[in-house]
Structure 1
Amino acid sequence: MIKIKSGFVAIIGRPNVGKSSLLNALIGEKIAITSPKPETTRNRILGAITTNDYQIIFVDTPGMGKSYNLLSKKVTQVAKASVEDNDLVYLVVDQKYNDSSKFIIDYLKKTNSKTFLIINKIDKFKTKSQIDEIILSYVNIYDFKAFVPISSIDKTHIDKLIELTVAEMPEGGLLFEEDFISDQSKTIRMMELIREKILLHTEAEVPHSAAVVIENMFYNEESGQYDVFADIIVEKNSQKQILIGKDGSKIKSIGTAARRDINKTLDTKIHLELWVKVKKNWRNDPKMLLSLGIGED
């Protein structure tokens, strides 16, 4: 067996610090959905970089924070579990240390994980001193192996981050096949891309109360594309009305945006039909969460 550098890297942090954007920047393609809204990621996502010299498996995790229902409790558990049994942790931040960061630091101290502090969104900072202030606020909080300022958007210092990461990986063999990129199936990625458009096209409680389930999908030989039938699950009739919109305008715009992104991201032509259904309090329903793969090992 040819020996190479290989290992797992967990990407953790508060909601909305750019963890999924970082994963996409590292892999070089859209593996995880992104939005400006917190709690976009609900389950762990694996993404891999493989070269002749190394294979790094990145583990994108949901944002770690307070739990308000069974869903948020489950996603925090997923994030915590992802820290364990990894060779390295990226703690992603975009501001100085504060009370919301303490929860994560306290957990890192319990696991004694080898950790890089990743200062993201530096493209938004006007001066280097702003980056220095963030680093200084963390320097005595935890024994970080490295402090790495990056921008997931314009990929500033991403190559340097990979170089530093490879140096920390143990020597071993391939963890996955050479052509492995992600553990996300085409169906899951479709569902997530639809949910991303819900996050981007709605406000208030609606984005976080919505789930997407593909009920049926088959290849239509006559049209040369996939026919996809998906349900959007919400908790209230009022949310259903908002999602549908006046004369169906909102659901139409969501469907159009999702179809275009699926065509582009997955290189798959589809005909998409969306239906909105109400399932009261689904975020506290263990069976529903299990059916969505949330909290599964």
Structure 2
Amino acid sequence: MTAFDPFEGMTDDELDAFIESEEGGAGAAPLKGNEPEGFRSGFVALVGRPNAGKSTLLNACLGEKVAITSPVAQTTRRRMRGVLNREGCQIVFVDTPGLHKPQDSLGGELNRSALMELDDVDVIAMLIDATKPVGRGDAWVAERVKKSRAKKVLVLTKLDLARPDAVSRQLEEARRLMDFDDEIVVSSTDGFNVDGFCDLVASYLPEGPRWFPEGMTTDESDEMLVAEFVREKVLMRTEQEVPHAVGVVCDSIESKKGGRVLAIHATILVERDGQKGIIIGRGGSMVKHIGTDARRDLERVFGRQVFLDLEVKVSPGWRSDVREIHRMGYAADD
């Protein structure tokens, strides 16, 4: 994915409609275009417990990485929309934070962000991990999904990691949660049934024009993409040591050397001095690795050389500080 200007080539009417859709959410006016008769478009929410595979499925559907992933629960902290343009339809996938029992203000905001999407979409894809027993957490999610008027599709994920007999049991248990309109089994890692999943949800979308310009794959700002890719590398490098206490803010992005280089500064926030020491590492080795890993992804995203400067700061109890949660873009209404 290269840097893309969604406003390039748009008429004034198209620009007004796009801005309106960004301000009003899924219920706002779509773009005006010349789509053929029978063109389908709409919003598909990916919901489920933490680590059900929502972001991995989103990336697989789009054919490129726009959402961060890691083995750590609650990796996704923001609602992200990924846009898939296919012949005859535009599918806007809404990747939501994993629904869970919150332990702090941040957890409460993540749940609220995910639940807000259920009333504003055409299809809800409820993801259930094929490798883990269906439990109370799944039942809790299902109770929320039931209340939506959207079409509901059961998606059993991680088929590549599950035994066939376990898959059959999981499907039986999942069907008891609620009456789904449809179901499908997928492996995002192997690509099994990913196209089939896209075909399935597209069949439930209403006829209508596009919501986003062709060529646009995500509605995330450059600053949020930077913050998320840096946070992903922190999660991958530090594993279980500091994951939930980490937040990242992109402070600045500047174009240098005639636009050939982007100079980016970002701040990694933790809650304790010990966590800061882990992220910095001996002689700055850990933060250097984090920066190198993140820079590779950012150069792919922006299509140019990136100079990434990372700073690590301690902000005690930031996950219970509503102001900090808003500053990082994790609040439900951000």
| TM-score normalised per structure 2 | 0.85
Structure 1 equivalent of residue 267 of structure 2: 231
CA RMSD of aligned residues (A): 1.6
Alignment check: 8 A CA contact 1:33 1:40 kept: yes
Residue of structure 2 aligned with 1:32, choices 59, 62, 67? 67
2:167 aligned with 1:110: no
Q: Aligned runs of 1:249-260 on 2, under 5 Å? A: 249-260=285-296
Identity %: 35
Structure 1 residues without counterparts, runs of 5 or longer: none
Structure 1 equivalent of residue 127 of structure 2: 92
Corresponding pairs, count: 296
Q: For residue 303 of structure 2, what is the amino acid of its counterpart?
A: D
Deviates more, 1:174-183 or 1:67-76: 174-183
Give the Cα–Cα distance (whole angstroms) in 2 for the partners of residues 266 and 123 of structure 1.
32
Deviates more, 1:226-235 or 1:216-225: 216-225
What is the SS of the residue equivalent to 2:215? coil
Alignment check: 8 A CA contact 1:96 1:138 kept: no
Alignment check: 8 A CA contact 1:96 1:135 kept: no
Structure 2 equivalent of residue 5 of structure 1: 40
Alignment check: 8 A CA contact 1:20 1:32 kept: yes
Alignment check: 8 A CA contact 2:40 2:90 kept: yes
| TM-score normalised per structure 1 | 0.95
Alignment check: 8 A CA contact 1:7 1:55 kept: yes
2:193 aligned with 1:168: no
2:310 aligned with 1:274: yes
Q: Aligned runs of 1:46-57 on 2, under 5 Å? A: 46-57=81-92
Alignment check: 8 A CA contact 1:211 1:233 kept: yes
Question: Offset of 1:291 from its aligned partner?
Answer: 1.2
Question: Offset of 1:112 from its aligned partner?
Answer: 4.8
Alignment check: 8 A CA contact 1:227 1:272 kept: yes
Question: Offset of 1:113 from its aligned partner?
Answer: 3.8
Structure 2 residues without counterparts, runs of 5 or longer: 1-33
Alignment check: 8 A CA contact 1:63 1:79 kept: yes
Give the Cα–Cα distance (whole angstroms) in 2 for the partners of residues 224 and 166 of structure 1.
39
Question: Offset of 1:223 from its aligned partner?
Answer: 9.3
Give the Cα–Cα distance (whole angstroms) in 1 for the partners of residues 259 and 284 of structure 2.
25
Question: Offset of 1:110 from its aligned partner?
Answer: 2.6
Give the Cα–Cα distance (whole angstroms) in 2 for the partners of residues 190 and 74 of structure 1.
21
Alignment check: 8 A CA contact 1:242 1:250 kept: yes
Give the Cα–Cα distance (whole angstroms) in 2 for the partners of residues 114 and 170 of structure 1.
11
Pick closer, same or farther for the CA change 1:138–1:126 going to 2, 3 Å.
closer
Q: For residue 148 of structure 1, what is the amino acid of its counterpart?
A: I
2:176 aligned with 1:140: yes
Alignment check: 8 A CA contact 2:249 2:267 kept: yes
